[in-house]
Amino acid sequence: MTSENTDDLAYEAATNRRYLTALEARLSRAVPIALAANEKWVGHTPRSGLSYDQLGPLVARVGLDVQDEHLGASFYVGARWLSDFDHAVVSWDAPVAKVFYEPDVDSHEIARHVVVRRTLLERRNDIVKVYDEWLANTSRDAAPFARRRLDVPAAPVPSGRRAKRREAAKGTDASTPADPAGSHESSPRTFETSVMMPTGPARTEETLRRGMRSVEAVDYALRAPRAAALTSVLATLQPDQYRLVTRSAAEPLVVQGHPGTGKTIVAIHRAAYLVSPERPTDERVDRLLLLGPTDEWVRHVDDIVKTLDIERRVSVKSIPAWFREIAQINHALSGELDGSVTDVGQFIKNLFDRGARACREDQPWATGPGARMKNLERLYDYVRGGGTIASPLKLGEISGPWVKTLPTFGAAIRRRRYLPLFAQASLSIMGQPVRRFGHIVVDEAQDVAGLEWEIIRAHNGANGWTLVGDMNQRRHDFGATSWSQVLDRLSAGSDTTRVTTHVIERGYRSTQPILDFAKALLPRSERSAQSLQQAGPAPKVTRASRSAERDPLAIREAERLLAAYPGGTVAVIAVEQRSLEQSLLSAGWRRSERQGDWQKEGRLLALRDAEAARGVEFDAVVVVEPGAFPRNLARVGPLYTSLTRANRELAVVHHQALPDELRRHSRHH
């Protein structure tokens, strides 16, 4: 049974401050952090040279019924290990940390001696809650956590972005939230589905919590206000999540889950785990690419990746920004990334590869200043023209009509629609990527199209893949409709590899009323989403009597939610934003320094479209005019995604008719 232990809170908070101070002192040294005797438990040693912003607090303490030679009667789990401390501190991804994350007697040789696991919840690096979980039939008279007098230093002084985050969070008293067409020939593979929690139409709260650890700590963390950026969840990472995180890099991993099931958490921690110095050399990934959908997503995850990635082996990129880097396009682009089905077809790779060979055989590529753009134009014009009289380019039934639709190079190079095309053209000119990675993790992978997969695949030297996403949130009709199709396209696995899609059905982020409202958009057979947050306000749906009243009404709803969740985050999500911006100005709001954010009297409000809202979350959300969101394949992926960005409360404001699915749900509820 888990119970909150507040008596030891002051002691653990003081120990954490000493731990952070000791780590900060280590950062000033240009030497390895090492302790030979600890190698048995924590493996390879990380290097110093990290800034304060990349520190992470203690997350757990494990009590033993023996005095272990290396660990003592108890040891701590932290974001990274520390030697020369008066307690043993191991990294969250060290082998011995499994006794905390996977409460199983077979998880580690020391597991049979564990009597109590203590979860330490933090708020901006300070320990604010302590929860103890004693093993059944264990005497509480054991004293693995015996306290002793401490000389407690002052809390470390935060710097830069972390200081700003503290300032923004003033007035809150909750802990940091947790969230816990060309083809390639490939051999036939077998695909299976594994569901990560019990299934069935009636799931009680007890069923949802089955297999979890430190449930009270999770409940407490879920009630906390959301920060603008994702913060540490190491203390509440659950056993099923940890098992996915720690799977071998050699096995393709696919994770499917509805919004709020912790897919992004799995992706981030898996990336850090695979490159960690805790891994044996032959199992460690040297360089890893973590890809997501938008720059907003990068800002959301970047801080936590830096905390976990000690040696900076993980490159965090949004797919659009990364494509710009590959093509070396620095000027502004107009329009959206989404083009037509043919604009992102796999056949384009073959077309540009053949075109590049023909151009190179005709004369060498240009070199020197401005050469990249000259070469791109040369290749593009060659393909657009179907080759030359002397060197025609053989076109097919798809590529022939497509090249006739291409605009001039000067027009295409300034449109976001053709960004994947120019990224591929750049690779075709180079012949191979400048940098290849040992593993690639893709978040929101359901939206990656054929040509985009070809570009990503070209950078994957070891063909190591981790794909996370939700097919129900697909935004367009370009890509595969199942994970097995994606894996076949990537030639992931082998004849003997059985690739399993792991389906997570336990939700953490959105409340059940929000999920019930949003999943009305899904086919009836796919409405299984269940949340640990069973209770919460029903989504508030308000219809404006006149179109001119809609946006002011939406802003008033946002202001109501800001008052209801002080210290948290609120967003307005809409397809059309220009009129909302005018209404915000009229209501006294002004643009903040961060793109898409507005401020008024010390409050911040996020204004997002469906694209920018992908992969991020807020305490409360106002969705404006659901009927204006685009449909695809009889689904409303962008709308479904937008409705489920809310953690605590959802409001919908509209003037046009609601989509039929939401209208029927509202009528019956």
475 φ/ψ angles, rounded to the nearest 5 degrees: -95, -20
- Other C-beta atoms closer than 10 Å to the C-beta of 343 total 20
Chain-centre distance of CA 470, in angstroms? 12
Write down the pLDDT at residue 30. 44
Q: What are phi and psi of 121, to 5 degrees?
A: -90, 135
d(CA 669, CA 656): 20
The reported pLDDT for the residue numbered 176 is 36
The position carrying tokens 């935004």 is: 475
pLDDT at 45: 42
- The number of angstroms, rounded, from the C-alpha of 344 to the middle of its chain's C-alpha atoms is 24
Residues in the chain: 669
Distance CA(186)–CA(304), nearest Å, equals 37
Q: How many helical (H) and strand (E) elements, i.e. helices and strands, does the chain have?
A: 22, 22
Q: Are 561 and 570 spatial neighbours (Cβ–Cβ below 8 Å)?
A: yes
DSSP state of 176: P
Contact indicator for 577, 609 with CB cutoff of 8 Å: yes
At 42 the pLDDT is 39
**pTM higher than the cut 0.75:** yes
How far lies 249's CA from each of 272, 282, 440, 654, in Å? Answer: 12, 11, 10, 47
DSSP annotation of 519 = G
- Rounded Cα distance, 462 and 490, in Å: 12
Q: Which amino acid is at 655?
A: H
Location of structure tokens 């709308």: 639
Q: What's 39-77 look like in SS3?
A: HHHHCCCCECCCCHHHCCCEEEEEEEEEEECCCEEEEEE
**pLDDT value of residue 41:** 43
* DSSP letter for each residue of 582-630: HHHHHTT-EE-SSTTEEEETTEEEEEE-TTTTTT--EEEEEEE-GGGS-
Q: What is the mean pLDDT of each run of 10 residues along the chain (669 residues)?
A: 68 93 73 36 44 78 93 93 90 94 86 93 89 79 66 53 46 39 41 59 68 88 73 88 93 90 94 94 94 93 90 95 95 81 86 96 93 96 94 92 95 95 96 89 93 95 92 78 87 67 88 91 82 90 95 97 92 94 96 90 93 89 94 75 93 94 76
Number of Cβ atoms within 10 Å of the Cβ of 24? 16
- pLDDT for position 165: 46
Closest CA to 317 of 430, 418, 442: 442
379 neighbors 356 (Cβ within 8 angstroms): yes
Distances (CA, A) of 352 to 320, 357, 403, 429, 600: 20, 9, 11, 9, 50
In angstroms, the CA 38 to CA 44 distance is 10
Residue-level pLDDT at 153: 54
DSSP-assigned beta bridge partners for residue 440: 289, 465
* Burial of 370 per CB tally in 10 Å (0-12, 13-18, 19+): exposed
